Amino acid sequence: MESTVQTSPASEISHSGLEWVNTLMRMDTTSRNSNLGLIETVRDYCYANGLVTTLTYDPSGKKANLFATVPSAAGETNGGVVLSGHTDVVPVDGQQWNSDPFSPLVKDGKLFGRGSCDMKGFIGIALGLVPQMRQASLTNPLHFALSYDEEIGCAGAPVMLADLKKRGVRLDGCIVGEPSSMRVVVAHKGINAYRCCVKGHAAHSSLTPRGVNAIEYAARLICHIQDLAERFKVKGPFDNAFDVPFTTAQTGTIRGGIAVNTVPANCEFEFEFRNLPGINVSGIYDEIREFAERQLVPRMRLTREEADITFETISTAPALDVAEQAAINGLVRALRRDTDTRKVAYATEAGLFQSAGIPSIVCGPGNIEQAHKANEFVELHQLAACESFLRKLIVSLSGNSL
């Protein structure tokens, strides 16, 4: 019988699950670093347990996704459910931690450390159940999809999904284990991030009419984005099932200028908008670009012909909106006994899987409010609930098809 580690009077977590969580958390997979150490460790473990594994790499070869399959009892590798999680974590730079962020610490019924909540807790618990998955007489296969660079724009998952399509791999449903307090999330917003570069012309501040002030024109565009956000807030469209029931937009960073007595030649800022499902993303982006091209650039070029405003896409991740009749929705709701319609403002890779034709849902341990913060933690009873849920999933895939 599998040994267990007591986590609280009300919950238990398997030793293998907790060990895997700890192992993953000890690996510093901050997005700026390689994740190959983690991926190769998991790959070797999967291989040793008879799983079929495939790695797909980023252009540098320093990061990789892993897709691994537990075949059905009949040896089938197509269909079934995929458990999805990202392996990268956000930086700890500038944060005041009470313990080493990469040395897991259990205290007061909580597991502290970077990635505990977002989202190595889910991945580790799932990996700890691989032996049980192998021993079960699965009528449908189970898969793992572990990605790189989710935290900097969901860059890894599209590479993996393109490979699955190329290889003809078919999946019936996807469970993304982002922190949702083990509640079923059926929809989330999309996120779209862009960089805008304003090229003006430098001049001494005593001769301002001879210059084109890049910061001032950037400010005009930023105010236009703010006005756009206000329009969505006031006029909608709205979906009151979301915690923030309308599309939002904001400017997050800005850089420009060299001295107070110099008309700035350059200004760069980054902005984002988070759209409700069904909103025309390209329409919002086009409206912002058209304001720059029609209202601002002609005025700038009255002074200097070379003045310009350019845009660059940083990252996009589509919204998620799971159909109530989707099989994965019914399965996860039944296993969690959760019938509430829950929609959230944060984005996940679930939207990418859905866009690839794989019905997807979000359900994972931990509270999103603890993610990305100093002293990040996941409550141990959440990990126990996750493990219980995944055990039930294994049983359901051993007798009930999607």
**CA-to-CA distance for 192 and 324, rounded, in angstroms?**
26
State the first-to-last Cα distance of the chain, in angstroms, to the nearest integer. 30
**CA-to-CA distance for 263 and 203, rounded, in angstroms?**
5
Question: Annotated catalytic sites, by residue?
Answer: 88, 150
Are 208 and 201 spatial neighbours (Cβ–Cβ below 8 Å)?
no
Q: For every residue of the chain, which 3-state class applies, written as one string?
A: CCCEEEEECCEEEEHHHHHHHHHHHHCCCECCCCCHHHHHHHHHHHHHCCCEEEEEECCCCCCEEEEEEECCCCCCCCCCEEEEEECCECCCCCCCCCCCCCCCEEECCEEECCCHHHHHHHHHHHHHCHHHHHHCCCCCCEEEEEECCCCCCCCCHHHHHHHHHHCCCCCCEEEECCCCCCCCECEECEEEEEEEEEECECEEHHHHHHCECHHHHHHHHHHHHHHHHHHHHHHCCCCCCECCCCCEEEEEEEEECCCCCEECCEEEEEEEEEECCCCCHHHHHHHHHHHHHHHHHHHHHCCCCCCEEEEEEEEEECCEECCCCCHHHHHHHHHHCCCCCCEECCCCCHHHHHHCCCCEEECCCCCHHHCCCCCCEEEHHHHHHHHHHHHHHHHHCCCCCC
In degrees and rounded to multiples of 5, residue 25 shows phi and psi of -70, -30
**How far, in whole angstroms, is CA 185 from its chain's centroid?**
14
**How far, in whole angstroms, is CA 217 from its chain's centroid?**
33
Report the DSSP beta bridge partners of residue 193.
272, 315
71 contact partners, CB below 8 Å, separation of at least 6: 52, 77, 138, 141
